[in-house]
């Protein structure tokens, strides 16, 4: 199985239609968890996984 293409936070922001700062805030809040971190500490994201994390957070918010 091929590994999914991992995106930078800027690329993820573009794909999701949000700002890069929003991605950073979601990571800081634990809403988004990067697939991996580079040796330099930069997060890399799987698009499908990130979308699911945001959907799960949205569902949780509606339940509360």
Q: What is the pLDDT of residues 6-62, one digit of tens each?
A: 999 999 999 999 999 999 999 999 999 999 999 999 999 999 999 999 999 999 988
**What is the pTM (predicted TM-score) of this model?**
0.88
For residue 24, being part of any structural domain is answered with yes
CA 41 to chain centre: 15
Confidence at residue 14, expressed as pLDDT on a 0 to 100 scale: 98
For residue 1, being part of any structural domain is answered with no
Which has more pLDDT, 60 or 3? 60
* Banded pLDDT at 2 (limits 50, 70, 90): low
For residue 50, being part of any structural domain is answered with yes
Q: Domain count of the chain?
A: 1
Q: What is the spatial distance between Cα 62 and Cα 17, in angstroms, rounded to a whole number?
A: 22
For residue 55, being part of any structural domain is answered with yes
Confidence at residue 64, expressed as pLDDT on a 0 to 100 scale: 78
23 lies in which domain range?
6-63
We report the CATH number of the domain holding residue 26 as 1.10.1660.10
């Amino acid at each position: 199985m091929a590994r999914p293409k991992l995106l930078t936070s800027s690329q993820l922001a573009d794909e999701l239609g949000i700002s890069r700062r929003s991605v950073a805030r979601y990571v800081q809040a634990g809403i988004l968890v990067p697939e991996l971190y580079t040796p330099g500490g930069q997060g890399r994201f799987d698009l499908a996984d990130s979308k699911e994390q945001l959907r799960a957070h949205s569902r949780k918010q509606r339940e509360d």
